[in-house]
């Protein structure tokens, strides 16, 4: 039974890795804090942090190597 579980898990992982994803995120166990990642059309990675469904931080990679932190008030 464990082997079947491992085979199914690995198969799901392989198929999910093959599908391109442009937006992804994680949340805290209680769902109050969420971290979202997305890829813009010009291939720039952006991040957002929300607390209690209120946008708190936007983090975007600029044109150079610097990362810009934008606190949302």
Side by side, the strands of the sheet bearing 33-39 are 23-27, 33-39, 45-51, 54-61, 67-71
Q: What is the pLDDT of residues 26-60, one digit of tens each?
A: 888 898 888 888 777 776 777 888 888 888 777 76
Kindly state whether residue 42 falls inside one of the protein's structural domains.
yes
Kindly state whether residue 2 falls inside one of the protein's structural domains.
no
Kindly state whether residue 48 falls inside one of the protein's structural domains.
yes
Of residues 28 and 71, which shows the higher confidence score? Answer: 28
Of residues 7 and 31, which shows the higher confidence score? Answer: 31
User: pLDDT band at 64, cuts 50/70/90?
Assistant: very low
Domains in the chain, number: 1
Kindly state whether residue 46 falls inside one of the protein's structural domains.
yes
Instruction: List the domain range (segments joined by +) for residue 54.
Output: 22-73
Q: What is the pLDDT of residues 14-31, one digit of tens each?
A: 655 555 556 778 888 898
């Amino acid at each position: 039974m464990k082997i079947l579980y491992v085979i199914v898990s690995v198969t799901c992982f392989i198929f999910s890795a093959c599908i391109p994803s442009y937006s992804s995120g994680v949340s805290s166990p209680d769902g109050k804090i969420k971290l979202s990642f997305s890829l813009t059309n010009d291939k720039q990675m952006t991040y957002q942090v929300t607390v209690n469904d209120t946008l708190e931080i936007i983090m975007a990679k600029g044109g150079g190597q610097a990362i810009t932190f934008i606190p949302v008030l």
